[in-house]
Structure 1
Amino acid sequence: MFLKRRHFLSLVLVPVLLVSSGSLLAEDDEATALVRRTAERMLGTLEARRAEIEHNPALIYGLVETIVLPHFDFERITQGAVGQYWRQATPDQQRQLVDGFKQVLIRTYARSLLSYSGQEIRYLPSKPGNRPTMVTVATEVREPGAAPIPVEYRMYNGGSGWKVYDVVINNASLVGNYRSSFAAEIRQNGIDGLIARLSTLNQRGEE
């Protein structure tokens, strides 16, 4: 059961890549505009280089790292997923946890991108967060014959631009979705056990 999150992560991560064909907001706020620009750039690059990527699928990892990853705060995401055990980890263990979890998400994200099949996304008005530096970018993913799926991007601005620190789909948090499995692994095998497990999953190319 550990880290078996492909369906959840596909729904969570793919919407960043979609270009809206539904109603557009008259004026995007900065955070929503960032999500939109990233979506258009990622999908445009995918279409322009599709032949290369089909020949060498590993190219997608570099594109994801260049275009999408700068807008995610992986240290904050990992800290939230590790929860109470984060403070027990040494600085080196924290670095290894961030690096390992980041690679897990990159691999799943890239595979989700390769399987993109034209879903539509609608951008909704953003919602204020708990602090003035936080905001939630609200979207809906639409597929023919199915109910819209709400996907929200929780973002903050620490002075260097907006970054995603959690994604929520149908009220299920990406961070919270991993927290229980991370805690179980740490209780059984310690922080180094979780680090080793993440490393093994990345070597195998699993999520």
Structure 2
Amino acid sequence: MSNVFMAVKKWFCMGLLTLASALGVVSLTIAQDNASDPYQQIEQVTVELLETIAKHKDAYPENEKAYFNSLEGLLLGRIDFAFIARNVMGNYYKQATPEQRARFAATFRSGLVETYGRGLIGYENQEIVLVNVGQVAEGQRRLTVKQEIRSAETVYPLEYSMARKKTGQWMVVNVVINGINLGKTFRNQFVQSAQRAGGDLEQVINGWSSKSL
């Protein structure tokens, strides 16, 4: 694994940790089901994440499978895993069979949830500031929620790219941490893996796991 990708993984986990830590003070009253508001949607997910972490933290890692299952159930309607997985496959998506596409989407989702979960389980308190709260225009389909992750040593920018589905639900479709675009990074990794495998998508999909992320 390259040094660049190791840095991405570090920043990815740090972003998740600080997001959960900093937004954990939001009110449960505010953070009810506000799927039509992307800012409140993130607040709601964060509150539920903290509850999930608190429930599983003491017994971790013995309860790792149950913990990951809880996280996946929580995130399925909030992160558009299928959209992200399709983008990660890039031009190889057209070459893949429907079965391969579905299998990679499921494998990618599981791997991302495991990376997400391992990062969150040991989070520490840090400060994060939402820097662009605004009104969502009628008919608006895309926006970026921007934050700053502040520690004693430095400040990292964190951006969530969000898309509104036909149902009105806002979902996360990409994350940029400290200038590193995770969607593009994962896509580059997929392309490199496919090239090493001589275009054998079965080999790429079978070799993709949380250890790849």
Counterpart of 2:76? 69
Where does residue 13 of structure 1 map in the other structure? 16
Partner SS, residue 22 of structure 2? coil
- The amino acid of 1:192's aligned partner reads E
Which of 152, 156, 161 aligns to 2:159? It is: 152
1:19-58 correspondence to structure 2 within 5 Å:
19-20=22-23, 30-53=37-60, 56-58=63-65
With normalisation by structure 2, the TM-score equals 0.80
* Aligned counterpart, 1:142: 150
Unaligned runs of 5+ in 2: none
CA contact (8 A) 2:23 2:46 kept: no
Q: Which of the residues 77, 80, 104 maps onto 1:97?
A: 104
Q: Could you tell me how far apart the structure 2 residues matched to 1:54 and 1:97 are?
A: 26
CA distance in 2, matches of 1:56, 1:43: 16
In structure 2, distance between residues paired with 1:158 and 1:89:
25
> Does structure 2 conserve the Cα–Cα contact (< 8 Å) formed by 1:139 and 1:152?
yes
Deviation at 1:49, TM superposition (A): 4.7
- 1:17: how far off? 2.3
Question: What do residues 84-141 of structure 1 show as CA deviations (whole Å, max 9, x unaligned)?
Answer: 1111111111111111111111111010011211222211214789x92011111111
The reply on whether 1:197 has 2:198 as its aligned counterpart is no
Higher helix share: 1
CA RMSD of aligned residues (A): 2.9
Q: Distance in 1 between matches of 2:56 and 2:196?
A: 44
TM-score (norm: length of structure 1):
0.82
Tell me how far 1:16 sits from its aligned partner.
4.4
Mapped contact 1:122–1:140 kept (Cα < 8 A): yes
Q: Map 1:96-175 onto structure 2 (within 5 A).
A: 96-126=103-133, 132-143=140-151, 145-160=152-167, 161-175=169-183
Indicate the percent of aligned positions where both proteins have the same amino acid: 23
